[in-house]
Amino acid sequence: MKRKVVCYCDRDFEVDLPDQVELNPEMEEAILKGSFMSTKCPHCGKLLKPEFPVRVKNPERGIDIFMVPEQDRNVFYDNSLPYSIKEGMSVVIGHRELIEQLLVIKSALDMRAVEIVKFYLLKKALNDYDSEERLSIIFTGKEQDMLVFHIFGLKRDQLGIVHVALEKYQRIVQELYARVKEEPFGVLLAPPYVSINKFFSGDFLRGDS
């Protein structure tokens, strides 16, 4: 469908971008490589990566993901999106979270357990937090017996890379049934948006025991 894109050169243009895609191997590769929804400004030639609401699905693999644009994050939290999300879809916000969820699926991991790992990593990261940037953490892949996470916003213009032993993740998986009943994990793991980002704030994490 036609979408209006505004470039950094202050010119706008229309481009055909889908509101729904089938997650075949080619589409999965495009998303993971970051080329999905990329478009070039016809006026200045700059490569842009706009975000629009899009459904990504593959019924055979049990995948049905709805990506909310990052610019709509607060509107989503307020339950006032101008578009609907069908029941049963899992929600991600922005390209970065879409890539993350596909990597979790590709690595045969449980998203709930991954988010619990991220919760504890963020709590620990707050000890070194000296930036005004928004602190966030993303799963980026599995290397042998280690899970790899990137932490953004910890220090200005720096990226934190953390490795977590697969064994620690597996222990959390074994405890998931009990964890779901505990706070704050009851909120964290509640669908459709299973993410530490739904309630993250430095004060919240510091105050949690």
Where is the domain boundary, 74, 106, 138? 106
Q: Please check the confidence at residue 98 and state whether its pLDDT lies above 90.
A: yes
Check whether residue 99 and residue 20 sit in a common domain.
yes
According to the model, what pLDDT value does residue 125 have? 81
Expressed as residue numbers, the domain containing 167 is 111-207
The mean per-residue pLDDT over the stretch 128-139 comes to: 77
Check whether residue 143 and residue 180 sit in a common domain.
yes
According to the model, what pLDDT value does residue 4 have? 97
E-only strand ranges, the chain = 2-6, 12-16, 20-22, 39-40, 47-48, 54-58, 63-68, 90-93, 136-143, 146-155, 158-165
Q: Are 179 and 185 in contact (CB under 8 A)?
A: yes
Check whether residue 101 and residue 118 sit in a common domain.
no
Q: CA–CA distance from 22 to each of 55, 60, 93 (Å)?
A: 8, 11, 19
The mean per-residue pLDDT over the stretch 125-146 comes to: 83
Check whether residue 10 and residue 102 sit in a common domain.
yes
According to the model, what pLDDT value does residue 143 have? 94
Where is the domain boundary, 89, 106, 123? 106
pLDDT digits (tens, 9 = 90+) for 10-24: 999 999 999 999 999
Provide the mean pLDDT of the chain: 91
Check whether residue 115 and residue 202 sit in a common domain.
yes
Q: Please check the confidence at residue 129 and state whether its pLDDT lies above 80.
A: no
Q: pLDDT-based confidence at 130, cuts 50/70/90?
A: low
> 177: which 2 tokens?
């049934």
| Cα 120 versus chain centre, distance | 17
Where is the domain boundary, 106, 129, 147? 106
Check whether residue 89 and residue 115 sit in a common domain.
no
**How many domains are contained in the chain?**
2
Q: When comparing pLDDT for 9 and 132, which is higher?
A: 9
pLDDT digits (tens, 9 = 90+) for 139-182: 999 999 999 999 988 777 778 899 999 999 999 999 999 988 88
Check whether residue 125 and residue 95 sit in a common domain.
no
According to the model, what pLDDT value does residue 18 have? 96
Q: pLDDT-based confidence at 206, cuts 50/70/90?
A: very low
